[in-house]
Amino acid sequence: MASSPERIWTAALLIIGDEILSGRTQDANLAYLAKWLQVQGIRLKEVRVVTDEMDAIGNGVTALAAAYDYVFTTGGIGPTHDDITVDAIAAALGVPVVVHPRAREILAGYYGDKLTDARLRMARVPEGAELIDNPRTMAPGIRIGNIFIMAGVPVITQGMLASLDGKLEGGLPVLSRSVGAWTQESAAAATLLAVEKANPGVQIGSYPFWRQGKTGANFVLRSTSDDQLAAVAAQLMAALQEAGIESVDGEI
C-alpha cells in the first residue's frame, strides 16, 4: 500500500485482564505493540486496561474504535469461563457470536477428538469477523472492522502481529534519537524548549534518571525524518554546551 505522509495513522490498545489490574502480572504487550506499530507507520495514542467484565470491555472497545484508526485488544480469548472478550465485543457491536468454520477446522485439526466444548470456545467470533493466524498455538486471533482481537500471552500476541506485518495501511514511521547528559533536567529545561520550538516536526521528551547517586537525563527526539533528527540532535548538543551542559550523542 502507498503510504501517505500527510496523514497520521493512529491506534489504541485495550488490555483486558484482572491479572494486570491486580498487579499480579506485568503487561508485556504494550511496549511490543508500540514498537511494532512504529514500523508499520502507525502511532499508538492510547492504552486502556479494563477488568474482565462485559461492560468494561464493551465500553472500552467502542470508545477506542470510534477515536482511532485501529484498535487492538489483548487477553480473554482462551477456553475458560473468564474469557469473555469475544462475547463483550460482539454485544458492543450488536452482532451475534458464531462459530467460525475455518477456526473450528483449525482447532479440530489440532485437538482431533479432544475438541471439547471449552476448546471450541476458541472458534467463536463476532459475526462477520475474519481470522488472524496464530502460528504458535493455533487458536486464531480475530479481526472485525478496525478491531483486532488478540491473545494475552505475549508470545502468542507477537505471533499474531507477525502475521499482520505489512498488511495494515500506515504512514511514515516515527524515528527517534537520543542525547544524554549528566545533568538535572531542570537545568536543561529552557534549552530543550527553545530547540523544540525552533524545529517544527521534531518532538523532544526529557527522561530523568538517578544512577549510583548521580543525576542524569536522556532527551529523546522524535521525527519522521532521519536527516532532521541528526541535524536537531547536533543543534541540541551545541545549545546544551552553550548552557554549560556536556552531552553525548546517544542514550546514557
Interface positions with a second copy (CB under 8 A): 15, 18-27, 30-35, 38, 43-52, 56, 78-82, 116-119, 121-122, 153, 155, 174, 176, 185-190, 192-193, 196, 203-210, 220, 222
Per-residue b or e along 68-101, where b marks 16 or more CB atoms closer than 10 Å to that residue's CB? bbbbbbbbbbbeeeebbbbbbbbbbbeeebeebe
Compute the least distance from the CB of residue 17 to a second copy, in Å: 8
Of 43 and 124, which has the nearer Cβ to a second copy?
43
Are the C-beta atoms of 102 and 110 separated by less than 8 Å? Answer: no
- Parallel, antiparallel, or unpaired: how do β-strands 97-99 and 70-74 relate? unpaired
Of 38 and 62, which has the nearer Cβ to a second copy?
38
Compute the least distance from the CB of residue 62 to a second copy, in Å: 14
SS3 label, residue 171: coil
DSSP code, position 69:
S
Compute the least distance from the CB of residue 56 to a second copy, in Å: 7
Q: Facing residues of 42 across strands?
A: 9
Compute the least distance from the CB of residue 25 to a second copy, in Å: 7
Compute the least distance from the CB of residue 21 to a second copy, in Å: 5
CA-wise closest residue to 67 among 50, 46, 53, 38: 46
Are the C-beta atoms of 104 and 123 separated by less than 8 Å? Answer: yes
Cell of 154: 505475549
Of 35 and 128, which has the nearer Cβ to a second copy?
35
Compute the least distance from the CB of residue 38 to a second copy, in Å: 7
- Parallel, antiparallel, or unpaired: how do β-strands 9-16 and 42-50 relate? parallel
Of 95 and 108, which has the nearer Cβ to a second copy?
108
Helix or strand (DSSP H, E) at 217: strand 214-223
Of 68 and 148, which has the nearer Cβ to a second copy?
68
Compute the least distance from the CB of residue 172 to a second copy, in Å: 15
Are the C-beta atoms of 97 and 129 separated by less than 8 Å? Answer: no
Of 82 and 127, which has the nearer Cβ to a second copy?
82
Of 31 and 248, which has the nearer Cβ to a second copy?
31
SS3 label, residue 41: coil
Rounded Cα distance, 242 and 161, in Å: 45
